[in-house]
Amino acid sequence: MRFHTLTLSLLAAATLAACGGKDSTPPEPPVVAKPTPTNVIFFLGDGMGIATTTAARIYSVGEDGELTMDTLPETGFVKTFSNDAQVTDSAPSMSAYMTGVKMNNEVISMSTDTVAKSPNADFTSNCGTANGTPVTTLLELAKAAGRGTGVVTTTRVTHATPAATYAHVCHRDAEADIAAAMVPAGKGYNTKLADGIDVVLGGGKQFFLTTDAGGKRADKRDLTAELKTAGYTVATDRAGFDAIDATKAGKFVGLFTSSHMSYDLDRDPVKEPSLAEMTVKAIQRLKQNEKGFFLMVEGGRIDHALHETTAKKALQDTIAFDNAIKAALDEMKKTDPTLKNTLVVVTADHDHTLVLNGYAKRTGKTSAGNPGVLGLLRNYSDGSVAKDADGKPFTIIGFGNGENRPAGNRSTFTDLTDDVVFASTYHQEAAVRMGAGSETHGGTDVFIGATGKSAESFGGFVENTAVFGLVKAAAGL
């Protein structure tokens, strides 16, 4: 058997030699491994303090229920003070997350020494010279690494939180300049964005249109036209949003309202997409980048409702935000089932003064026939309506300060009823009187939760600036 095998081998070799001496079969091309994508989805509930999330949970699923954010396996607390204030505003707090630098109130992604200066009347910057320097953001780092980038919000896309991802200015109200920072090749463009942010969805058309077109730009620039010239698809209504095929390549911007998008309680789904819908469409587009992506999603109107002290609106917007988190996790798990390549972070930029009063009987979730946590406080012992020192009923939810602080002797007031306090426009009572819509932020720590890639790093008490480093390391930026 060995003799025959050897003979056959020699014959094969001789045949090859007669034909040219070498095997003519071409070698297999080397296998080039695709890069492993690394994705970050950073969720920011604006003003979503611990008391607000607790109230929203009771409102939606009852005291013993769970929101999606409650199920995140890694959790901790974040200190929120800014460089110059015990109680921060959204500009420096979001900027701290995005840059790792403490800065003064009103400042957007600039160095610590930057002094906030109110903008000009046309919403352009009035920073002056030698007033701080820009500091690099996580979105800019992702762009430099060749990854997809996106910004989704229910506020104006030029508002403080979204602006902190892509703009650098000494005052958050310079929204005409902030809008210009995202338009490739135009005056004021942030060149660190290279060819531009891939997806931007939210409200705020007014800072992209001229005053002649009903906007607030005094420089006669139509930024929506400039975005189209730069290769963007621009949607300005629900139909335009639905027409975008996010599975195809191409950048897109959605500006669905002149100013902020509607509160979720008031939103007409025929006219405006939900935060969850915008989040999913952004992810579907960004997932096409083989290197991964960075996406920031803001539930921005939670904050606005709390400033109004209209708790029902705030709680519903918190639930809309939580729905967006669930939708994002479901969408990502289609391609990354265990989230081994995806980090999802959920947090808030600051607190508000909302509180849960007294010793209330458990209410269960809110429904049309049950105001729940939005109703009058009933004693846990016997279910009777609780009374204050003036013998008057009061609500479970109140505020430390706000516009509805009754003046005078409460004993002469008409009693509150569940029907009155359950209304969407009801302003809960406050301890300290403020102007309409001017309830303040609170200074307490906020929640942070994480799941997926390197989520185990997110725990304990951390400075807001430390979150930047944790995300940066997890993303390999």
Active-site residue set: 90
Question: If you ran DSSP here, which 8-state letter would residue 410 be given?
Answer: G
Q: How many residues does the chain have?
A: 477
Whether residue 353 contacts residue 442, with contact meaning beta carbons closer than 8 Å, is answered with: yes
Q: What is the spatial distance between Cα 305 and Cα 315, in angstroms, rounded to a whole number?
A: 9
Whole-number Cα distances in Å, 149 to 53, 191, 320: 28, 14, 22
User: Is residue 38 helix, strand or coil?
Assistant: strand
Question: If you ran DSSP here, which 8-state letter would residue 367 be given?
Answer: B
What 234-239 contacts at long range (C-beta under 8 Å, 24+ apart), as own/partner pairs, is 236/205, 237/271, 238/269, 238/270, 238/271, 238/272, 238/273
Q: What is the spatial distance between Cα 314 and Cα 338, in angstroms, rounded to a whole number?
A: 32
User: Is residue 148 helix, strand or coil?
Assistant: strand
> Residue 136's CB: how many other CB atoms inside 10 A?
18
Which of 471, 470, 477 lies closest to 143, judged by CA? 477
What is the dihedral sign for C-alpha 145, 147, 151, 157?
A: positive
Give every CB contact of residue 330 below 8 A, 6+ residues apart in sequence.
none
The pair phi, psi for residue 35, each rounded to 5°, is: -65, 145
Q: What is the spatial distance between Cα 64 and Cα 434, in angstroms, rounded to a whole number?
A: 34
Question: If you ran DSSP here, which 8-state letter would residue 86 be given?
Answer: S
What is the dihedral sign for C-alpha 279, 284, 285, 289?
A: positive
Q: What is the spatial distance between Cα 405 and Cα 65, in angstroms, rounded to a whole number?
A: 32
In the block, tokens 């109680």 appear at: 87
